[in-house]
C-alpha cells in the first residue's frame, strides 16, 4: 500500500486514530470485494455522521477539480494481483464522529399531520380514528399493490457443472444481517442470535442494512469471533451481493441469517447461483398493514430461503395463506430462559378494590398508540371517579410521542395521577404492583411484555392485533378502532372490577395461555439446531 497524502497541523490523536481505523475498514471491505484488482481510493472528509457516500468506478477515472475538493483527504493505492490487474476507483467520505446529542437523540418530537392539526387540537381521538381508517384502507389495497407471489427459483440442470464449495479451511462462520443496530424487537433477536451463534461455535460476521449510528453495536459480544462489517456506511447496495459472495468464499460462511435486512434479501440470487451450499434462515415478526412488511418480502423470496423462523402463529398462517408455504416455517418464541414449571404468582387485582394501578410499557411510537393510551387513561379516570376508585399509574417509555402525551395529560388534568418513567426503570417491580397493563397497540407480533405481566401477577389488556390473542383471552382484547378501544377498555376494567366470576375466569385463562406459550419451542431452540449443524457441533 502506498499513501500519497500527508496530514499536517495540530490534529488530536483520537481523530488520527479514527481516520486510520475507518480508512482501514474501508480498504478491508473493498479488498475483499475486489481481491485481485488494483484499488485506487479517494478519501474525503464527510459531514454526515452516518453515510460515506461511496462512488465506485470500475476503471480509471479522469480527474476533475471536484475530485480534489476542499474535503479531499488523500489518495491510497492498493496493488492488484499483477501489474496488468484492472483498476477500481473508489471515492468515499469518512463520516465524522457523531455529536453526543446525535448519539442520544433519535427522533424529533411527533407532530400531528399538518392539514389535520386543528382537528387534533379539538379531538385527538377523532384524529386517531382517521389515521386508523386510512391505514385500514391501505391494508385493503395491499394485496393489489404489492406482490404476494414467491419468486421462482430456477434450479438449473445437472447436465451443467454445479458450483463447488471451495473449502477455505477456516472454522465455519455465519453472516447475520440486521435491519440496523438500533432499539427494536427485531434487533434484540438479532443480537441474541449473535450470542447463540458464538455459543454454537461459529465465527460471526454482522452487517446492518440501513445506515445509522448503530447505537446497539456496543451490545454485540466482545469477542474476536464477532466482526461487525460497516457495509451500511461504505458499500452501495448494488455491490452487496458480490461482497457477500466473496465473504462466503473467503470466510467459510455456512449460514446466512437475515433479520429484516433488505439488502441481504437482494443478495440471495448471488448466493443461490454462486454459493448454493449456504443455508439461508430468516426471522420475521410483524405484518405491516400497508405492505405486509418483512414477512411479505420474505414470502416473495421464499424459494431462496431454507427456513422461515417466525415468532407467532399469526405468521405461520400468513405464510400459508399468502404464499402457500407449509413446512419451511418454524415457530420459535422469543421467550428465552422461560421455565414452564415456574409457579405463577396470584393476580393482584381483586373485585371492588378501592385502588387501581395501571401501567403502560413500550416505546412511545405510533405503533404503540400513545395518544389512544392517554384517551383510555382519561376515560378510566372518569370511570374511577364515578366508581370511587383511586386510580394511579405509570407510563414507561421514551420516544417522539413523549411531549405530545405530556401535553395531552395536562390538558385532560390527569397528569397528577400518572407518572412517566424512562425505559430503564425497574419493570418487574412495576408489573408486580400493577393491577392492569394496557397495550393499546396498533400492530404487534406478540408483545412479550404481556407475557411478563402475567409472570408478575398483572392483567394485560391489549388490542387484538398480531398474535396477541395467543396470550390474552378474548374477553380482554380490544378492537383496533381507537374509539372502540377506548370504550371497550373501560368496559373490560369495569367488568373485572365488579364481576368476581369474570375476574377469576380471566385470571385462569391468562395462566393457561402463559403455560401454552411456554410449552412452545423458543427461538433459541429452533435456531441453535441449525447453528450447531453449521458449526459441526451438533450433539447428535
Partner 1 sequence: MTVLTNTTAVIVTYNRSAKLMKVLDALERQSLSLDTILIVDNASTDDTQDRVEAYAKDMPVIRYLRLPENVGGAGGFHEGIKAAYMQGAHYIWVSDDDAYPEPDALQKLQEAIIEFEDSYQWRPSFACSRVEWTDGSLCEMNTPHPVWDWARFVRPGKAWALVDSCSFVSVLIPRWAVKEHGLPIADYFIWFDDAEYTRRLSRSYPGIFCPESRVTHDTPDNRGVNFGLVNDKSLWKFKYGARNETSFRRREQGFPGVVAYIYSVHQQMKKGRIPWKLRWKIFRSILRGMAFRPKIQNV
Residues lying near partner 1 in the complex (CB under 8 A) are found at: 149-150, 152-157, 159, 303, 320-321, 324-328
**Taking the complex as a whole, how short is the minimal distance between the CB of residue 225 and partner 1, in angstroms?**
33
Kindly tell me which of 176 and 300 has the beta carbon lying closer to partner 1: 300
Kindly tell me which of 156 and 345 has the beta carbon lying closer to partner 1: 156
**Taking the complex as a whole, how short is the minimal distance between the CB of residue 278 and partner 1, in angstroms?**
19
Alpha-carbon span 260 to 191, nearest angstrom? 13
**Taking the complex as a whole, how short is the minimal distance between the CB of residue 156 and partner 1, in angstroms?**
8
3-state secondary structure of 529: helix
| 292 dihedral zone (left: phi>0; alpha: psi -120 to 50; beta) | left
Alpha-carbon span 43 to 19, nearest angstrom? 10
**Taking the complex as a whole, how short is the minimal distance between the CB of residue 105 and partner 1, in angstroms?**
46
Kindly tell me which of 105 and 159 has the beta carbon lying closer to partner 1: 159
**Taking the complex as a whole, how short is the minimal distance between the CB of residue 458 and partner 1, in angstroms?**
35
Quote the cell numbers at residue 255.
449460514
3-state secondary structure of 18: helix
- In eight-state DSSP terms, residue 537 is -
Kindly tell me which of 156 and 166 has the beta carbon lying closer to partner 1: 156
**Taking the complex as a whole, how short is the minimal distance between the CB of residue 435 and partner 1, in angstroms?**
39
Q: Is 175 exposed, middle or buried (0-12, 13-18, 19+ CB in 10 A)?
A: buried
Alpha-carbon span 346 to 363, nearest angstrom? 28
**Taking the complex as a whole, how short is the minimal distance between the CB of residue 312 and partner 1, in angstroms?**
17
**Taking the complex as a whole, how short is the minimal distance between the CB of residue 328 and partner 1, in angstroms?**
7
Kindly tell me which of 321 and 491 has the beta carbon lying closer to partner 1: 321
CA dist 437 to 110, 360, 377, 440, 489, Å? 24, 6, 12, 10, 11
Kindly tell me which of 171 and 320 has the beta carbon lying closer to partner 1: 320
Kindly tell me which of 211 and 316 has the beta carbon lying closer to partner 1: 316
CA dist 314 to 14, 177, 179, 306, 329, Å? 50, 24, 22, 20, 12
Structure-derived torsion over alpha carbons of residues 77, 80, 86, 92, reported in degrees to the nearest 10: -40
Quote the cell numbers at residue 445.
407480533
Name residue, grid cell 433459541: 524
Name residue, grid cell 455459543: 199
Contact 482, 129 (CB under 8 A): yes
**Taking the complex as a whole, how short is the minimal distance between the CB of residue 425 and partner 1, in angstroms?**
43
Quote the cell numbers at residue 92.
468515499
Partners of 204 in beta bridges: 174, 226
Quote the cell numbers at residue 281.
434462515
Q: What is the arrangement of strands in the sheet containing 307-310, beginning at the earlier edge strand?
A: 226-228, 203-208, 173-178, 253-259, 279-284, 307-310, 329-331
**Taking the complex as a whole, how short is the minimal distance between the CB of residue 270 and partner 1, in angstroms?**
18
Kindly tell me which of 80 and 269 has the beta carbon lying closer to partner 1: 269
Kindly tell me which of 157 and 167 has the beta carbon lying closer to partner 1: 157
Q: First vs last Cα of the chain: how many Å apart?
A: 48
Kindly tell me which of 252 and 302 has the beta carbon lying closer to partner 1: 302
Amino acid at each position: 500500500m502506498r499513501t500519497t497524502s500527508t496530514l499536517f497541523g495540530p490534529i488530536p490523536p483520537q481523530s488520527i486514530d479514527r481516520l486510520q481505523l475507518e480508512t482501514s475498514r474501508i480498504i478491508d471491505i473493498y479488498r475483499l470485494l475486489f481481491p485481485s484488482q488494483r484499488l485506487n481510493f479517494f478519501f474525503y472528509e464527510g459531514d454526515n455522521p452516518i453515510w460515506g457516500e461511496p462512488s465506485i468506478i470500475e476503471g480509471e477515472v479522469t480527474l476533475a477539480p471536484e475530485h480534489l475538493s476542499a474535503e479531499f483527504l488523500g489518495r491510497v493505492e492498493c496493488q492488484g494481483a499483477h501489474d496488468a490487474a484492472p483498476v477500481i476507483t473508489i471515492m468515499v467520505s469518512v463520516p465524522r464522529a457523531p455529536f453526543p446529542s446525535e448519539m442520544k437523540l433519535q427522533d424529533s418530537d411527533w407532530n400531528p399531520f399538518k392539514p389535520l392539526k386543528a382537528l387534533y387540537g379539538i379531538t385527538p381521538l377523532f384524529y386517531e380514528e382517521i389515521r386508523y381508517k386510512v391505514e385500514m384502507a391501505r391494508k385493503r389495497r395491499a394485496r393489489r399493490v404489492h406482490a404476494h407471489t414467491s419468486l421462482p427459483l430456477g434450479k438449473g440442470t445437472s447436465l451443467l457443472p454445479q458450483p463447488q464449495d471451495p473449502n477455505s479451511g477456516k472454522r465455519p462462520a455465519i453472516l447475520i444481517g440486521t435491519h440496523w443496530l438500533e432499539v427494536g424487537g427485531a434487533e434484540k433477536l438479532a443480537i441474541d442470535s449473535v450470542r447463540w451463534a458464538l455459543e454454537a461455535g461459529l465465527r460471526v460476521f454482522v452487517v446492518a442494512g440501513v445506515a445509522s449510528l448503530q447505537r446497539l453495536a456496543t451490545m454485540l459480544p466482545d469477542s474476536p469471533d464477532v466482526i461487525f462489517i460497516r457495509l451500511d456506511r461504505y458499500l452501495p447496495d448494488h455491490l452487496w451481493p458480490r461482497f457477500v459472495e466473496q465473504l462466503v468464499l473467503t470466510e467459510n460462511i455456512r449460514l446466512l441469517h437475515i433479520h429484516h435486512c433488505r439488502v441481504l434479501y437482494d443478495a440471495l440470487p448471488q448466493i443461490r447461483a454462486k454459493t448454493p451450499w449456504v443455508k439461508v434462515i430468516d426471522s420475521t415478526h410483524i405484518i405491516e398493514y400497508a405492505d405486509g412488511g418483512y414477512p411479505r418480502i420474505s414470502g416473495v423470496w421464499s424459494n431462496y430461503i431454507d427456513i422461515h423462523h417466525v415468532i407467532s402463529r399469526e405468521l405461520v398462517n400468513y405464510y400459508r395463506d399468502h404464499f402457500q408455504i407449509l413446512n419451511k416455517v418454524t415457530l420459535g418464541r422469543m421467550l428465552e430462559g422461560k421455565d414452564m414449571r415456574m409457579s405463577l404468582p396470584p393476580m393482584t387485582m381483586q373485585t371492588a378494590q378501592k385502588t387501581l394501578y395501571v401501567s403502560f410499557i413500550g416505546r412511545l411510537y405510533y405503533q404503540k398508540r400513545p395518544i389512544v393510551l392517554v384517551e383510555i387513561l382519561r376515560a378510566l379516570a372518569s370511570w374511577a371517579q364515578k366508581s370511587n376508585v383511586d386510580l394511579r399509574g405509570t407510563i414507561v417509555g421514551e420516544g417522539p410521542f413523549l411531549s405530545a402525551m405530556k401535553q395531552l395529560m395536562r390538558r385532560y388534568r390527569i397528569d397528577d395521577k400518572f407518572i412517566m418513567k424512562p425505559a430503564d426503570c425497574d419493570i418487574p417491580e412495576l408489573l408486580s404492583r400493577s393491577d392492569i397493563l394496557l397495550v393499546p397497540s396498533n400492530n404487534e407480533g406478540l408483545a412479550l411484555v404481556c407475557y411478563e405481566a402475567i409472570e408478575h401477577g398483572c392483567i394485560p389488556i391489549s388490542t387484538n392485533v398480531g398474535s396477541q390473542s395467543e396470550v390474552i383471552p378474548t374477553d380482554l382484547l380490544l378492537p383496533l378502532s381507537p374509539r372502540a378501544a377506548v370504550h371497550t377498555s373501560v368496559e373490560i376494567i369495569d367488568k373485572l372490577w365488579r364481576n368476581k366470576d369474570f375476574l377469576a375466569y380471566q385470571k385462569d385463562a391468562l395462566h393457561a395461555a402463559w403455560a401454552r406459550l411456554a410449552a412452545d419451542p423458543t427461538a433459541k431452540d429452533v435456531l441453535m439446531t441449525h447453528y450447531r449443524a453449521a458449526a459441526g457441533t451438533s450433539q447428535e
